[in-house]
Chain A
Amino acid sequence: MSSDLKERGLSGVRLGISSETELRRAFNELEKIVSAAGWKLEGWVVQEYIAGGKEVRIKAFRDDELGPSIVFEPISFWMRIFGDRSFRLAPLDRDEAKEMIKETYGYYMLVGEDGSLPVDFDALIETMCKMSDLICKLGRVVEIHLHPLKVLERGVKAVDVKVVLEVK
């Protein structure tokens, strides 16, 4: 539904809601937009607003030839211009995950060399290792996509997660 609205130049997302009153107001606003478009409302998703941190994308997937694999992409200027990303075969150990992050230009952004605050590197490494374990152990899962994953000063939080299962 949200993507359909986007196609029409409308936004189905409301950010920075801090009270119940604001939430009700946002519901009403969006209901009006949806009914004006003649659609039936299927439901709402309310989630925590995660401010700050650095955005990265992690994709664990089963490649036809290479098998369980993982891609790490820091979301930055470098990714858009040079396709800044790194790849490894899963499962990963901590050293390999660390190496994967260091291989990208985005590493300097994550450690705060661009003047911003450094992020929780260990939590990011742990997330990558766990994702690589999941793609290796769960046979039915074809792809797990965290896009974006917010790496905060303490811990990480996934804003959006996509899990693709094998169709039998």
Chain B
Amino acid sequence: MSLDVLLRPEKIAIVGDAREKTTYKMFIKIVERTTGFPKVKIVDLGGEINGAEKSVKYLGRDIDICVVVLGGKSLGKHLQEIFKRCKLVVLLSDISEQILENREKILGPRSAGIINNDVGLRTSISEIPPAGSVSLISQKQAVTVRILRKMSAYSVGVSKVICTGEGQGIPEIDILKVLASDKSTSTICLNIYRTKNLRNLLDEIGHVSRSKPVVFHFLGKDDWMVASAVRQRGGIYVRNVRELVCGAKILSETPPLLGDRIFLLARTVDLCLDAAKHLSEFTICDVPEKILVKAGLERGNTGCCFKNIDLLVRYIPEFEKVSDGIFLVLEEDEEIEKLEGIRVNKTFVVIYPRRIRSARFPIFEDVEDAALAMKISAERGKFLRKSKIC
């Protein structure tokens, strides 16, 4: 079966039972979310939803993706029929894996669903992050929901989310290959709990990493060995969901940090000092005296303090000349919209304590998150320089 249906599904189906107490809410939620998708067939075995089909027999034979929101007993009865008619089946509920056939076309059981923001497909039980260029391959339903919630909170733009659940039907390596060829995906995140062949997956990460950053979070084996192996292959190993999300945000929204010189800017000396505490792995660099005066900056112990944000915006290209990346800390009452016109060619990170839905560069609410992201960006940059890709 070709997994291209994940990138360009044309016809989808949702199968559920509005009378089933355990899955009712999930079913209705997903039905509501698919209203934006052009070709959707809804099957409500309970016959409660107006306009929905009452049997899977009415599905036709050309469904690309079928999302099944049914509990164990009722699901077993209809599965054979669904498999006959659909190219890919997403099972959200729990079901005994022994009775599952046609595993090669199943995502699930216990999948969190799939999202393809490019085509308006949002058949997931979790929060849906804004559209963007990060794609996620994830296994455990609960962890996937947690990641997506955090991605929404950090305004990480998502292209595709594919939750394989716990059935080990479609190998993650095959999905990774599909996403590697996907033009709208710039960064790939992997959240893996167990896999049939970890070595092959790592080798594939090695191939993909040459063109796109791969952020890898592993819930299974001894950390230090897998971490070293992932880094050896060029992937970015993260220890938790927070690092995964911060990494995805910075890698998808700004170029990687190709060195260790950072130009630190803040409104006050205190903000500079606080940021510098988290940036101990980097060299905080300086600008020539002439530019310092022209840009209205004041040199602190570490980093520089700015007085006028308009001047700062104008001199960003000069700061880029002397550093590998810019780390800008703003106060809550700052006029952040003035940054909209900035054109940056290097890593540019802004810390602003209020939530911003979208910007042309990564904005973090917290200095610690931003510094963490900067480290991840530097790791990617190091790989690119080592492999002579950049």
Contact surface of A with B, Cβ cutoff 8 Å: 63, 65-67, 69, 86-89, 96
Q: Is the CB of B232 within 8 A of A66?
A: no
Can you list 10 A-B pairs, Cβ within 8 angstroms, ordered by A?
A65-B199, A66-B221, A86-B228, A87-B224, A87-B229, A88-B228, A88-B229, A89-B199, A89-B202, A89-B232
Q: Is the CB of A67 within 8 A of B228?
A: no
What is the predominant secondary structure among interface residues of chain B facing chain A? helix
Cα separation A107 to B229 with both chains bound (whole Å): 20
Whether B198 is near chain A, meaning CB under 8 Å from some CB there, is yes
Hey, which chain A residues are within 8 Å of B226, CB to CB? 66
Most chain A CB inside 10 Å of its own CB: which residue of B202, B221, B229, B233: B229
Cα separation A86 to B225 with both chains bound (whole Å): 8
Q: Is the CB of A87 within 8 A of B225?
A: yes
Hey, which chain B residues are within 8 Å of A63, CB to CB? 225
Cα separation A9 to B229 with both chains bound (whole Å): 42
Partner of B202, one of A66, A86, A87, A96: A66
Hey, which chain B residues are within 8 Å of A89, CB to CB? 199, 202, 229, 232-233
Cα separation A63 to B198 with both chains bound (whole Å): 10
Cα separation A65 to B200 with both chains bound (whole Å): 9
Cα separation A67 to B195 with both chains bound (whole Å): 14
Cα separation A161 to B232 with both chains bound (whole Å): 27
Q: Is the CB of B198 within 8 A of A96?
A: no
Hey, which chain B residues are within 8 Å of A87, CB to CB? 224-225, 228-229
Residue of B nearest to A71 (CB): B225
Distance from B199 Cβ to chain A, minimum over Cβ atoms (Å): 4
Q: Tell whether A65 pairs with B232 under 8 Å between CB atoms, given A87-B224, A87-B225.
A: no
Residue of A nearest to B221 (CB): A65
Cα separation A7 to B229 with both chains bound (whole Å): 39
Distance from A139 Cβ to chain B, minimum over Cβ atoms (Å): 15
Cα separation A94 to B63 with both chains bound (whole Å): 52
Hey, which chain B residues are within 8 Å of A66, CB to CB? 198-199, 202, 221, 225-226, 229
Hey, which chain B residues are within 8 Å of A69, CB to CB? 225, 229
Hey, which chain B residues are within 8 Å of A67, CB to CB? 199
Residue of B nearest to A99 (CB): B232
Hey, which chain A residues are within 8 Å of B199, CB to CB? 65-67, 89
Q: Contacts A87-B225, A88-B229, A96-B232 given; 20 further ones with Cβ under 8 A?
A: A63-B225, A65-B197, A65-B198, A65-B199, A65-B221, A66-B198, A66-B199, A66-B221, A66-B226, A66-B229, A69-B225, A69-B229, A86-B228, A87-B228, A87-B229, A88-B228, A88-B232, A89-B202, A89-B229, A89-B233
Hey, which chain A residues are within 8 Å of B225, CB to CB? 63, 66, 69, 87
Distance from B190 Cβ to chain A, minimum over Cβ atoms (Å): 15
Distance from A137 Cβ to chain B, minimum over Cβ atoms (Å): 16
Hey, which chain A residues are within 8 Å of B198, CB to CB? 65-66
Residue of A nearest to B220 (CB): A65
Distance from A160 Cβ to chain B, minimum over Cβ atoms (Å): 24
Cα separation A34 to B228 with both chains bound (whole Å): 47
Cα separation A26 to B88 with both chains bound (whole Å): 75
Distance from B298 Cβ to chain A, minimum over Cβ atoms (Å): 40
Distance from B387 Cβ to chain A, minimum over Cβ atoms (Å): 11
Instruction: List residues 205-250 of chain B with CB under 8 A from any CB of chain A.
Output: 221, 224-226, 228-229, 232-233
Cα separation A24 to B7 with both chains bound (whole Å): 79
Residue of A nearest to B224 (CB): A87
Hey, which chain A residues are within 8 Å of B232, CB to CB? 88-89, 96
Cα separation A86 to B229 with both chains bound (whole Å): 10
Cα separation A66 to B197 with both chains bound (whole Å): 8
Cα separation A67 to B232 with both chains bound (whole Å): 14
Distance from A65 Cβ to chain B, minimum over Cβ atoms (Å): 4
Residue of A nearest to B225 (CB): A87
Cα separation A114 to B355 with both chains bound (whole Å): 51
Hey, which chain A residues are within 8 Å of B228, CB to CB? 86-88
CB-CB nearest 8 A-B residue pairs:
A67-B199, A87-B228, A65-B198, A87-B225, A89-B229, A88-B232, A66-B199, A66-B229
Cα separation A88 to B229 with both chains bound (whole Å): 6
Hey, which chain B residues are within 8 Å of A86, CB to CB? 228
Hey, which chain A residues are within 8 Å of B202, CB to CB? 66, 89
Cα separation A87 to B202 with both chains bound (whole Å): 14
Cα separation A130 to B198 with both chains bound (whole Å): 24
Cα separation A86 to B202 with both chains bound (whole Å): 18
Distance from A102 Cβ to chain B, minimum over Cβ atoms (Å): 13
Cα separation A86 to B198 with both chains bound (whole Å): 19
Distance from A99 Cβ to chain B, minimum over Cβ atoms (Å): 9
Residue of B nearest to A88 (CB): B232
Cα separation A77 to B198 with both chains bound (whole Å): 33
Cα separation A67 to B200 with both chains bound (whole Å): 9
Cα separation A99 to B230 with both chains bound (whole Å): 15
Distance from B385 Cβ to chain A, minimum over Cβ atoms (Å): 13
Distance from B337 Cβ to chain A, minimum over Cβ atoms (Å): 45
Hey, which chain A residues are within 8 Å of B197, CB to CB? 65
Cα separation A96 to B225 with both chains bound (whole Å): 15
Residue of A nearest to B197 (CB): A65
Instruction: List residues 348-374 of chain B with CB under 8 A from any CB of chain A.
Output: none
Residue of B nearest to A96 (CB): B232
